[in-house]
Amino acid sequence: MTTSRKRFTAPQRLLHWLMAICILSMLFIGVGMVSTVTSKYLTLVQIHKPLGIAILVLALIRLSLRFVFHAPVLPADMPRPMRLAAELSQYVLYALMIGMPLIGWGMLSAASYPVVLFGSVHLPSILPVSPSLHTLLWHAHYYLAFAFFATILMHVAAILFHKLIRNDGVFEAMAPVLTHDESEI
C-alpha cells in the first residue's frame, strides 16, 4: 500500500486539509453545543449533522483514493516504535472518520429523531428505536469524540516533530504547497 512518490497526490492532499478543517470544527462544535442552552445550541446542532455526513462522504472518497494512489513510504531511518505509531494512527483516524458519523446517525435513529441535513433533505433511519441501543451509541459517540481529539493532538504533535525536529520529509508528503527549498526533498 505504498508508492514510490514522495508526496501524496494533489486530490489526497486537498481532501486531507479540507477534512482537517471539517473534523477539528466538528469536535469543537460537538463539545460546544452540549455546553450551552443559548440559541447557539440549535445553530451548532444544525451544522453538526450535515457536517458529520459530509465528513463520512469525504472519508469514503479519501479511502478509495488511498487504495488507488497509496501512500508514500515512510523514511527508512524512522525508529520502529515511531513507524508503528504512524501506521497505527492512520488506521485509528480512518476508523473514527468513518465510524463517528455512522454512530451519530445510528444514535439519532435509535432515539427516533429525524436526521435532517438541511431544509427538507433528511436521511432515513438506519436503526430501530431502542433506548439501550441509543445509550450504547451515545456513549460511544461521546467517548470516541475525546479519543478522536486526543488522536488528532498526537497527530499534530507528531507531524510537527517530523518537521521541526527530524525534518525528514514526512510533513512535506502531505503539505498543501511546497516552498522552493523544500521542493528538492
Give the footprint of other proteins on this chain (CB under 8 A). Answer: 27-28, 31-42, 45, 75, 77, 79, 111-114, 119-120, 122, 128-132, 134-135, 138-139, 149, 153, 156-157, 160-161, 164-169, 184-185
Q: Which is nearer to other proteins, 102 or 116 (CB)?
A: 116
Q: Which of 21, 29, 18 is nearest to 104 (CA)?
A: 29
Shortest spacing between CB 72 and other proteins, in angstroms: 14
Q: Which of 16, 26, 74, 80 is nearest to 49 (CA)?
A: 26
Q: Which is nearer to other proteins, 68 or 73 (CB)?
A: 73
Shortest spacing between CB 114 and other proteins, in angstroms: 5
Distance, in Å, from the CA atom of 134 to the CA atom of 64, rounded to the nearest integer, reads 30
Shortest spacing between CB 15 and other proteins, in angstroms: 21
- At residue 167's C-alpha, the angle toward residues 163 and 171, to 5°, is 45
Shortest spacing between CB 66 and other proteins, in angstroms: 25
Q: Which is nearer to other proteins, 59 or 170 (CB)?
A: 170
Secondary structure class of 71 (helix, strand, coil): strand
Q: Which is nearer to other proteins, 180 or 184 (CB)?
A: 184
Residue positions counted in the chain: 185
Cβ count within 10 A of residue 59: 23
